[in-house]
Chain A
Amino acid sequence: MSATFGVIVFPGSNCDHDAYHAMAHVMNAETKFLWHKDTDLSDIDFLLIPGGFSYGDYLRSGAIARFSPIMQSVIDFAEKGRPVLGICNGFQILLEAGLLPGAMLHNKDLRFVCKQTHLRCETSDTLFTRNIEEDSVLQIPVAHGEGNYFTDKDQLKKLQDNDQIVFRYCDSQGNVTDEANFNGSVDNIAGICNTQRNILGMMPHPERAVEELIGSDDGKLIFESVLNELAVA
């Protein structure tokens, strides 16, 4: 049985079609758009919360979206251990909803940064990184103004101790340096998972890195990992 992907669309989402393209046309998976007022996720196997500017980033990025009707269904879906991937604004929404710990500050130099970045995969032990070797380097682009991940020392230690840091900004050789940490994130964090390891939030855009033609297809590794996982489940 093939897996069905759901891409949630909020007012102001603008990476939803990129995500749809990556899933439907590149990964050849059954893919559906879900409106933020939908609540039935019974035929969905994998949820993707795309990037963009839900509700115009009013108040704080993701703060209003988390009260959309679909979010209670997302929480129920996630509690069953099913895969949820939040990308960029999707990551911010997961933080605001309390599904992942921490918050996003403005980038340290206040600039909106849109460029290719290198990420070191810190753990293969998530639904999203089974096909990625630990310490390997992926090239995936970012596009955000508020991606400066913040959490206090106690929570950071928990993330480290529980192996919840999934991706860190690094140089092309995989060295996690201050220079590579363009947005000022705590501990170079680019992506984290929950303790159950079925929810991943990441600022870089894997859905924009699925074709060599546009710079990199490293993002496919993440989607392949989930597809494989769903195929054997």
Chain B
Amino acid sequence: MYKATVNITLRKSILDPQGKAAHNALKNLGLNEVNQVRIGKLIELDIDADNKEEAHKVAETACSKLLANEVMEDFEIEIHEN
């Protein structure tokens, strides 16, 4: 029915050591144009729902109750029709 794409990233105020390590490696590759790297997670959900709004609600509940930890993470949801 609907596909939700969830992007989870560390909150902006939190140092992302994985991103920093990858950034340093990119600099070693000579890619000095890259100013910052932040690494997060992408989660896809297939959702049965009657409409987009409902699918969004389901995804939001899934994120706030389990998929993301809002003490340290932000999430963004995109809903696509399948």
Contact = CB atoms under 8 A, between A and B. Distances in A.
Label chain A's interface by main secondary structure.
loop
Contacts of B14: 105, 150
A184 B17 CA distance: 11
Given A103-B72, A105-B14, A150-B71, A110 B66 contact: no
B66 A150 contact: no
A157 interface: no
B21 interface: yes
B20 to A, nearest CB: 9
B15 interface: yes
Label chain B's interface by main secondary structure.
mixed
Interface size classification for chain A:
10 to 19
Interface residues of B, number: 11
Contacts of A102: 71
A63 interface: yes
Interface-centre pick from A67, A101, A103, A108 (highest chain B CB count, 10 A): A103
Contact of A108 (B15, B66, B67, B69): B15
Interface in A113-151: 150-151
Given A59-B66, A67-B66, A106-B18, 13 more contacts: A63-B69, A96-B69, A101-B71, A103-B69, A103-B71, A105-B14, A106-B17, A107-B17, A108-B15, A150-B72, A151-B71, A152-B71, A184-B15
7 contacts: A59-B66, A103-B71, A105-B72, A106-B18, A107-B17, A108-B17, A109-B17
